[in-house]
């Protein structure tokens, strides 16, 4: 368990821009060619399930509708530990709904209806207690949302039984430390755990939210556009973290940012109007998409 060191002083501007320069900053190396695989991320990328991959979740023809209006249409895909799955697609394509269905948060919407099956380690999630499921499939949101308490209490809240305040600090401390270390936050906040969480910087808040999601020891970590409210530096720290975490948990990330998907994902699912149009390794989806719509989207033609 090593720390994420503070971000390097110079932000690496992503040199590989295989899908056209439309979304890229003007600083890419000219022709936007598939570039040097010098990036740490590219080195890590997995184009095929690694031998250590574990099948965690299986989505089997899942459909979700709000008041009868379909949002996700018969989507099937695997979610494996050992790799990062990115869901991409234009706004309103159903990627967030799909993500929120994995821990049954969509049920909070009264008008939502479901069809199909999602399994976690072979068990149908609809047969599980939602609270138990959500401790195994935790989630990080778009906006950093630490709870209005100290850093320590943010993690202790997850560890404690429901609304209880029981559990001595000393017994919870190792788990809290472990969570903060895994999220690469211990080095920064370890000496001041009483600090109010909402007074941290945005990037630290988001890493605290990741720590909070990890402290429950989940099998799957869901990230819903976790960097969209953050500055580039914090974004990079979190992207590094995501790549690191894939060994310990299955990571699913929804992102609007194609470059981010390219940087962190091993596998990519492209969704459009509720359909999973294309699913495959990041390299194949970005560099040689099979579907016309995928090609248009990743080259910046729409969305």
Partner 1 sequence: METSVATPPVSSPPPQPGPPGPPRPADGRRSAAWRLSDKAGLVVCWGMGLLFCAIAVAIVMYFLIKGLGYVRPWMFVTPASTGFTQSQTGGFSDALIGTGIVAVIGIAIALPLGVAIAVWLSEFGRPAGLARLVESTIEAIAGTPSIVLALFGTIIFASPALGFLSRSTSGIVFGRSFFAAGAMLSLVALPLVVGSTREGLQAIPQHVREASYAVGKTKMATTRRILLPASRPQVATGAMLGLGRIIGDTAIIVVLLGATLNFDPVGGTPVLSYLKGTGTTLTNYVFQNAPTGELNNPEKAYAAAFVLLVIVLILNAAVDVIHRRARKVGTWTT
Residues in region 226-245 near partner 1 by CB under 8 A: 229-231
Length of the chain: 303
The reply to whether 145 sits near partner 1 by the rule CB under 8 A is yes
Cross-strand partners of 70:
65
Cβ at position 86, least distance to partner 1 in Å = 19
CB 46 within 8 A of CB 55: no
The reply to whether 256 sits near partner 1 by the rule CB under 8 A is no
Which region, judged by CB under 8 A, interacts with partner 1, from 78-86, 176-184, 206-214, 285-293? 206-214
Cβ at position 165, least distance to partner 1 in Å = 8
> Among 27, 31, 111, 162, which residue interacts with partner 1 (rule: CB under 8 A)?
162
Helix or strand (DSSP H, E) at 212: helix 202-214
The reply to whether 92 sits near partner 1 by the rule CB under 8 A is no
The angle at the Cα of 210, spanning 129 to 150, to the nearest 5 degrees, equals 95
> Among 86, 158, 211, 241, which residue interacts with partner 1 (rule: CB under 8 A)?
158
The reply to whether 199 sits near partner 1 by the rule CB under 8 A is yes
Neighbours of 247 (CB within 10 A): 12
Helix or strand (DSSP H, E) at 280: strand 275-281
> Among 163, 166, 168, 302, which residue interacts with partner 1 (rule: CB under 8 A)?
163
Environment class of residue 28 by beta-carbon count within 10 Å: exposed (0-12), middle (13-18) or buried (19+)?
Answer: middle
The reply to whether 103 sits near partner 1 by the rule CB under 8 A is yes
Helix or strand (DSSP H, E) at 151: helix 151-159
Cross-strand partners of 54:
81
C-alpha 227/C-alpha 123 separation (Å) is 31
Cβ at position 243, least distance to partner 1 in Å = 22
> Among 149, 173, 175, 273, which residue interacts with partner 1 (rule: CB under 8 A)?
149
Cβ at position 89, least distance to partner 1 in Å = 21
* Token output for 186: 């211990």
Kindly list the residues in this chain that would bind partner 1 in the complex (CB under 8 A). 103, 105, 108, 130-135, 138-139, 141-145, 147-149, 157-158, 162-163, 196, 198-199, 201-203, 205, 209, 212-213, 216, 222, 229-231
């Amino acid at each position: 368990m090593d720390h994420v060191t503070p971000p390097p002083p110079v932000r690496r501007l992503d040199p590989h821009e295989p899908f056209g320069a439309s979304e890229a900053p003007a600083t890419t190396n000219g022709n936007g060619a598939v570039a040097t695989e010098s990036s740490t991320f590219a080195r890590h990328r997995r184009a095929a399930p690694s031998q250590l991959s574990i099948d965690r979740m299986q989505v089997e023809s899942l459909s979700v509708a709000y008041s009868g209006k379909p949002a996700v249409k018969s989507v099937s895909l695997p979610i494996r530990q050992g790799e990062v799955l990115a869901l991409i697609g234009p706004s309103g394509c159903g990627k967030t709904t799909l993500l929120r269905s994995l821990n049954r948060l969509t049920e909070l919407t009264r008008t939502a209806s479901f069809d199909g099956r999602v399994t976690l380690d072979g068990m149908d999630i609809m047969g599980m207690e939602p609270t138990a499921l959500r401790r195994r499939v935790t989630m990080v949101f778009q906006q950093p949302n630490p709870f209005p308490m100290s850093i320590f209490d943010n993690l202790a809240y997850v560890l404690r039984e429901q609304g209880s305040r029981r559990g001595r600090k000393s017994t919870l401390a190792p788990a809290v430390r472990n969570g903060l270390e895994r999220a690469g936050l211990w080095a920064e906040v370890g000496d001041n755990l009483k600090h109010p969480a909402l007074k941290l910087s945005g990037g630290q808040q988001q890493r605290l939210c990741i720590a909070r999601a990890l402290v429950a020891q989940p099998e799957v970590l869901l990230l819903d556009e976790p960097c969209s409210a953050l500055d580039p530096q914090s974004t990079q720290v979190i992207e590094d973290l995501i790549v690191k975490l894939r060994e310990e948990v299955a990571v699913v990330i929804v992102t609007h940012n194609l470059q981010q998907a390219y940087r962190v994902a091993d596998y990519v699912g492209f969704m459009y109007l509720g359909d999973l149009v294309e699913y495959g390794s990041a390299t194949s989806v970005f560099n040689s998409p099979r579907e016309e719509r995928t090609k248009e989207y990743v080259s910046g033609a729409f969305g």
